[in-house]
A and B are shown apart, each in its own frame.
Chain A
């Protein structure tokens, strides 16, 4: 890369503005997509997402090699200027988001209904732009703005499924998200009132130096509540199964794979950078334990394919929260590794399962039994995804469950049995999914219907892409553990982040 940079001055310029590049590209892509007809817009989205994926890969590589990348928007240095920061965690999450988005956008190409939707492509790119923005922003107010944009675009994307329940589900999702973002703004207002700055690095520095102003715990509690709501942690989970199961398959994959990670990312940032060693981690731990168990049990009891997957998202987020509360190198590493794995396999499962549900207009597991012989390609992909969901080898799911148990063992607390129990539940509901879909008796109506449905090629390709990624992470676990470990060790040294943003020697 360095030789290339000397040869081409363009690369040098690109590198200088690297962090703003994904955001700009997605934004320009969104505007262009509005001007193009259906299929052309779909192809444009796929290309834009692919290019952004490559850029994010470059960003991750730079962040792994040389510490956090910092970009001053408009050339104004903090604390006055707006700053974008990509440390290893943000860069990794942005990369995974783009990988998931690539699969979703390829899937969209196979769905005529979504292709014909005028604003689908525009909103999809806006959603991705705001996701990348949330991960890269270095100050709280831009976090709020990007989170609002995530909400606004995802609300309309959820509404696009056009099912009978869509209006109600969209209303619920919007109201709860709006309440959440109000609380976020409230909390940010309190923190600004106490600190006089919104730059996360500067806030962290002030809190380290102490004394902590009275308003800070209130503001922090507001922020924590919003992030838990976004992550779908019990007791803030009730909107999640509705919204995630009512959305179109390509959107469900993004929602369940990546949007809940916005909340998890927020909790990680708060617990490592802004308020390290806060007592609120105990709350995160027990709420995480509650969601791991509740999500697992609800998934086990549910008879609806997409709702089962949505409940298992609650369970997995609960496990990640438990790992965050353990903290330390192993806990954070387990949390980050499981975030990546969950994003990949849940995206794959939602694309494959959502395809079946949309093809047969049927969500109930009872009616979808034994479809494996009807569409074997999708079934194989779904099967591998279910193995990863169960946390069994040879998938990445096994690796992150192992890391989780290792972290819990080192912590030695009461939460380890809870995490193991939740993992057991995940095996149980994955096996239930697997048995229903592979060995159940085929429904006569489905067999009769299949020849009349239009043949759709390439449908299993996007889900296969994600599932293959999980398999690769399982077979070559060092790929994941190296990156997650490096990200975790960087999170444990917040002074690296602070010095990268504010200058000075670490």
Chain B
């Protein structure tokens, strides 16, 4: 299971990096979102090292259970990244309404005078 998980996370990171390197601003945002999900998967897979059982004492007494702390971390991280993604989409929309392009190559290279 953990090899499969590692392969999936690796694949997601690869896709995310490819998207982030695109010229289109919205693709960059999507790429970041995929990267965030890959990170969350990584943390979850770190947790399942202990065992597959639900972390409830009465139900999995004696059996190996997953680390409950990590579930809380990932929930927090998901909420934060969701908020972040919303902000990024808003900024991208501002970008397209303030200029005429969301192509990164149209950005001014340098604002130095």
Which residues of A are in contact with B by a Cβ distance under 8 Å? Answer: 141, 144-145, 148, 152, 155-156, 159, 164-168, 170-172, 174-175, 178-179, 181-182, 185-186, 189-190, 192-193, 196, 242, 245, 302-304, 307, 364
Q: A165-B111, A307-B112 are in contact. Are A189 and B91 (CB under 8 A)?
A: no
Task: Assess whether B80 is interfacial by the CB under 8 Å rule.
Answer: yes
Q: A152-B83, A186-B42 are in contact. Are A171 and B32 (CB under 8 A)?
A: no
B88 touches A168 (CB 8 A): no
CA distance A171 to B91 in the complex (A): 6
Would you list 19 pairs from A and B whose C-beta atoms are within 8 A, ordered by A residue?
A141-B73, A152-B84, A166-B98, A168-B99, A171-B95, A172-B107, A174-B87, A174-B88, A179-B32, A182-B32, A185-B39, A185-B43, A186-B42, A189-B42, A190-B46, A192-B43, A303-B112, A307-B111, A364-B113
A192 touches B83 (CB 8 A): no
Chain A contact residues: over half helix, strand or loop, or mixed?
Answer: helix
- Against A, the Cβ 8 Å flags (1 = close, 0 = not) of B89-101 are 0011011001100
B84 touches A178 (CB 8 A): yes
A155 touches B87 (CB 8 A): yes
CA distance A190 to B73 in the complex (A): 13
A145 touches B95 (CB 8 A): no
Chain B contact residues: over half helix, strand or loop, or mixed?
Answer: helix
Partner of A145, one of B70, B80, B87, B108: B80
B113 touches A304 (CB 8 A): yes
Given contacts A185-B36, A303-B112, 15 further A-B contacts (CB under 8 A): A141-B73, A144-B77, A145-B76, A159-B94, A167-B91, A168-B108, A171-B91, A174-B91, A179-B35, A189-B42, A189-B43, A190-B46, A192-B70, A242-B111, A304-B111
Residues from chain B with Cβ under 8 Å of A302 in the complex? 112
CA distance A145 to B88 in the complex (A): 18
CA distance A166 to B97 in the complex (A): 12
Task: Assess whether B5 is interfacial by the CB under 8 Å rule.
Answer: no
CB distance from A171 to the nearest CB of B (A): 5
Task: Assess whether B12 is interfacial by the CB under 8 Å rule.
Answer: no
Which residues of B are in contact with A by a Cβ distance under 8 Å? Answer: 20, 25, 28, 32, 35-36, 39, 42-43, 46, 49, 67, 70, 73, 76-77, 80, 83-84, 87-88, 91-92, 94-95, 98-99, 107-108, 111-113
CB distance from B90 to the nearest CB of A (A): 10
Residues from chain A with Cβ under 8 Å of B70 in the complex? 192
Interface Cβ pair total, 8 Å cutoff: 83
A165 touches B112 (CB 8 A): no
CA distance A399 to B29 in the complex (A): 45
Residues from chain A with Cβ under 8 Å of B49 in the complex? 193
Residues from chain B with Cβ under 8 Å of A155 in the complex? 87, 91
Most chain B beta-carbon neighbours within 10 Å: one of A141, A152, A189? A189
Partner of B99, one of A167, A192, A245: A167
CA distance A185 to B87 in the complex (A): 19
CA distance A307 to B28 in the complex (A): 27
CB distance from B26 to the nearest CB of A (A): 11
In chain A, what residue has the closest Cβ to B42? A189
CA distance A82 to B6 in the complex (A): 30
CB distance from B14 to the nearest CB of A (A): 14
CB distance from A432 to the nearest CB of B (A): 15
Residues from chain B with Cβ under 8 Å of A174 in the complex? 87-88, 91
B83 touches A167 (CB 8 A): no
A171 touches B112 (CB 8 A): no
B43 touches A171 (CB 8 A): no
B80 touches A148 (CB 8 A): yes
Residues from chain A with Cβ under 8 Å of B25 in the complex? 171
A171 touches B92 (CB 8 A): yes
